[in-house]
Structure 1
Amino acid sequence: MHPILLLPHPALQPYIHQYAFMSVGVPGQWSAFGMVPPGCTSLSIVMHGRNVCLKPGDKPVRKFSSVSFAGQATQFWNVGIDDQYQVFFVVFKPCGAYQLLGIGQHSCLNETFDLSDILGRKAIAFQHQLEDSPTLETTRSIVEQFLLQCLCRQKDTAIVRQFDDIRKKIQRQSQEPRLIKKICKDEGVSKSTLVRQLKEIIGMGPKQFQRIARFNSLLLHIKQQATRRHWTEIAHQFGYYDQAHFIREFKLFYGKIPSAYSAGDELLTNIAQ
């Protein structure tokens, strides 16, 4: 899986990390890909209006329409897919889907939905436009028109901006111990308010989000190293002072223990980096 990465319209860049276009799956047969929790959500548009069948982990096979929304994930998923598809992804920033689509994120946790189930007729009209799109550039144009219309109705209040700033602090300082307590003190918010607001805006509480942000920072660090250091050193650098805890966390988010890690692992969530 080698994605083509594209920047969104400048007006959308505060809310969208990037677009990605790629082939997913194997022609004419079931295959599987891994998904590490990326700490963000995404919109998937299957080219030419094709429906797609997915089997996430041990869950039953589900059929999705050509436009679907994936919420935040809290664990590694091995996802089966029934054929090969050309897919255009909108990779939101952690608060972006809430701001642009107006969707409360906690109800989307570890779930994927047809966009029409969330947005109704507006999404159906959007999907019909995309079905007639013959090229990547046309698809990108239709998607951007839709999202720019959403921008006019965005949930970009002072409260959302405050908690988006908090989210950025959590990502920047994800390896710091007792970070959430410090943020509550610095920002003058109670822990219960922080938990409630972040669940609504990004889909999960601050501690869960910090764990996922820290793990993704660790993975990025590993990929950037020409020579990998010992796992114990890496774990300590990222604030895992208990080796057993680090191994459990690695297996939860990556699906393998650290010693089984390979830089060649096929992960769909690489598009979020």
Structure 2
Amino acid sequence: MRFEMHLPSEILKSYVQAFAIQENANESTYKVLPGTSLVIGFQFKGKLSYLENGHEIPLETFGITGLQNSYRIFKNTPETGTVLVFFKEGGAAAFFKNPLHELFRESVSLDNFMLRSELLLLEERLCEASTDQKKIGVVEQFLIARMNPGSTDQLVVAALSIIHKNKGTIRIKDLADQLHISQSPLEKRFRQAVGASPKKFASIVRLKNVIEQQREIETLTRLGYEAGYYDQAHFIKEFRTFTGEPPEKYFKKK
């Protein structure tokens, strides 16, 4: 597999974390853990699918995947190529009018958000682009044409910062109190901009921090405790949902 990251242009860097070109010459399957932002995939060759409950579910040629709270297994056909757009947390809201929490745990076609004629033109331009940089340039122009720069909700930006500062362990009531807003409107604004409720988002941040901090903490019991899991069975259950494996087995591979 070839996977190369590229930084966005100046005009998009407030909303897009990175672009990536992913190419697979051979058929393969691979696991992807949940992240904290939405991802768009523009396939310029081959086909991708994901496996769920024993079924293979095809992904659209141009599609967006919302936040996930559990791992996914992807499968590609031989000679597959995709341009991936990794948004910053809350960044996708600048390009979509729909409340983004409707995409939680979903992967849907971009047909749901824009004209088919726009996508056909984009597909044609991607096929004509002969280099990685040209392909990314095509996608950047597509995004810039749809961008609404004034759509960033600063309250949500502040909420994201607090959640990360607390490594996902903060209670949502305490989060609302720190932001001087009641819990209900905070949750509504957060869901619309980020793609999940504050509680679900904090859970993703919490488990990502567990994985990142594992080498610094001696025992799994201590690791769970440091992440705010006072019930070891609950920690193991949530970790297994997130990664597909219990902590001991997962970390042995690292």
- Cross-structure match for 2:82: 87
Bigger drift between 129-138 and 51-60 goes to 51-60
Bigger drift between 131-140 and 255-264 goes to 255-264
TM, length-normalised to structure 2: 0.89
Cα deviations by residue, 1:107-136 (Å, 9 ceiling, x for unpaired): 211111222232224333322221222210
User: How far does residue 263 in structure 1 lie from its aligned partner after superposition?
Assistant: 7.2
Indicate which of 158, 165, 179 corresponds to 1:172: 165
- Cross-structure match for 1:138: 134
Maintained 8 Å contact 2:129/2:135: yes
Alignment pair present for 1:114 and 2:109: yes
Maintained 8 Å contact 1:102/1:155: no
User: How far does residue 174 in structure 1 lie from its aligned partner after superposition?
Assistant: 2.7
Would the alpha carbon gap of residues 71 and 246 (structure 1) be closer, same or farther in structure 2, given more than 3 Å must change? same
TM, length-normalised to structure 1: 0.83
Alignment pair present for 1:38 and 2:27: no
The amino acid across from 1:234 in the alignment is: L
Cα deviations by residue, 1:32-85 (Å, 9 ceiling, x for unpaired): 211211121111122xx3351413322643444432211111212223333341
Percent identical among aligned pairs is 21
Name the Cα RMSD after superposition. 2.3
The amino acid across from 1:246 in the alignment is: F
- Cross-structure match for 1:238: 227
Indicate which of 211, 220, 244 corresponds to 1:219: 211
Would the alpha carbon gap of residues 17 and 134 (structure 1) be closer, same or farther in structure 2, given more than 3 Å must change? same
The amino acid across from 2:37 in the alignment is: C
User: How far does residue 147 in structure 1 lie from its aligned partner after superposition?
Assistant: 1.9
- Cross-structure match for 2:242: 253
The amino acid across from 1:247 in the alignment is: I
User: How far does residue 172 in structure 1 lie from its aligned partner after superposition?
Assistant: 2.3
Higher RCO structure (Cα 8 Å, ≥6 apart): 1
- Cross-structure match for 1:163: 156
Indicate which of 170, 175, 193 corresponds to 1:183: 175
Number of positions where the alignment pairs a residue of Structure 1 with one of Structure 2: 253
SS of structure 2 residue aligned to 1:73: coil
1:62-101 aligned at under 5 Å gives the runs 62-101=57-96
Q: List alignment gaps of at least 5 residues for structure 1.
A: 266-273
Q: Matched residues in 2 for 1:216 and 1:97: separation?
A: 21
Q: List alignment gaps of at least 5 residues for structure 2.
A: none
SS of structure 2 residue aligned to 1:119: coil
Q: Matched residues in 2 for 1:206 and 1:175: separation?
A: 9
